[in-house]
Amino acid sequence: MIPWATRAVIFDLDGVLTDTAELHFQAWKRLADEEGLAFTREDNERLRGVSRHQSLEFLLQGRTVSEVEAEALMSRKNKYYQQMIRRLTPADLLPGVAPLLTELRQANLKIAIASASRNADEVIERLGIADQVDALGDGNSVERQRPAPDLLLHVARQLGVSPEQCVVVDDAAAGIEAALAAGMRVVGLGPASRVGNADIVLANLDGIHPEDILAMKSEK
Ligand code: B16
């Protein structure tokens, strides 16, 4: 067995570092209301970590639109979303995130973010954590989104570390799947019904220290 050493932690953004899910919900809801489509908070849960295009498909509930119309709908939703993220501040980091990032840096671990969002760079900037992030993979970085491992592997390459040296923190089932497919260890945040396939399951990052997310078996 080759012993591994953790060198990097790769965080999902929405639902892990901040709760932009609520803002995505408000933006999709406004679009849905304008288009006469039913869309609830419960429906929004299904869009966690899901790409903009797939989210639209879900929202349309089988209604067919041309690719040009789809682009126009997505761009309208994105305009609403961008109006809302302008108001984000460091106070919108979820509990426990700021101290955990500080402690990870003190422990000489690299920090990266892997997000399906094309707005991730602006969100990170407004949350005030851009200077703590060594690499960012976002909705523009790769073709295939999670559950494919591509985004995580892209981020690991940017960091110059191997998959076995990475720990992923994600709150979506597709994110857990992607991490396992990438050969990375993974911490799932949320109910076991959603993230139970992860190596460690935590409710959230409140009160969590590096040792809590790095204390995993050395071989899988
Ligand atoms: P955008 P994550 C995801 O972020 C969101 O969870 C998902 O709801 C959103 O549709 C997706 O980003 C794309 O976002 O429309 O801003 O490009 O969880 O991967 O950080």
- 105-119 pLDDT per residue, tens: 999 999 999 999 999
Whether CATH 3.40.50.1000 fits 8-18+93-214: yes
Interhelix angle 120-127/67-85, nearest 10 degrees: 0
**Residue among 10, 14, 79 to mutate when testing ligand 1 (max atoms within 8 A of CB):** 14
Residue reference for tokens 């923190």: 169
Query: What pLDDT is stored for residue 218 in this prediction?
Result: 46
Q: What gap in Å lies between CA 6 and CA 166, rounded to an integer?
A: 6
Residue ranges, comma separated, of all CATH 3.40.50.1000 domains in the chain are: 8-18+93-214
Cα of 13 vs centre of ligand 1, distance in Å, is: 8
Task: Determine whether the shortest distance from the Cβ of 117 to ligand 1 is under 6 A.
Answer: yes
Assign domain 20-85 to its CATH architecture: Orthogonal Bundle (1.10)
Query: Among candidates 157, 158, 203, 148, which has minimal Cα distance to 179?
Result: 148
pTM over 0.85: yes
Buried/exposed 144-162: b ≥16 CB within 10 Å, e otherwise: ebbbbbbbbbbbbebbebe
Confidence of residue 4 (pLDDT cuts 50, 70, 90): low
Averaged pLDDT, 92-101: 98
Residue ranges, comma separated, of all CATH 1.10.150.240 domains in the chain are: 20-85
Task: Determine whether the shortest distance from the Cβ of 114 to ligand 1 is under 6 A.
Answer: no
**Tens digits of per-residue pLDDT, 70-85?**
999 999 999 999 999 9
Sign of CA dihedral 115, 143, 147, 4: negative
- Of the chain, the percentage scoring pLDDT greater than 90 comes to 92
Query: What pLDDT is stored for residue 214 in this prediction?
Result: 87
**Residue among 117, 125, 145, 195 to mutate when testing ligand 1 (max atoms within 8 A of CB):** 117
Query: What pLDDT is stored for residue 153 in this prediction?
Result: 98
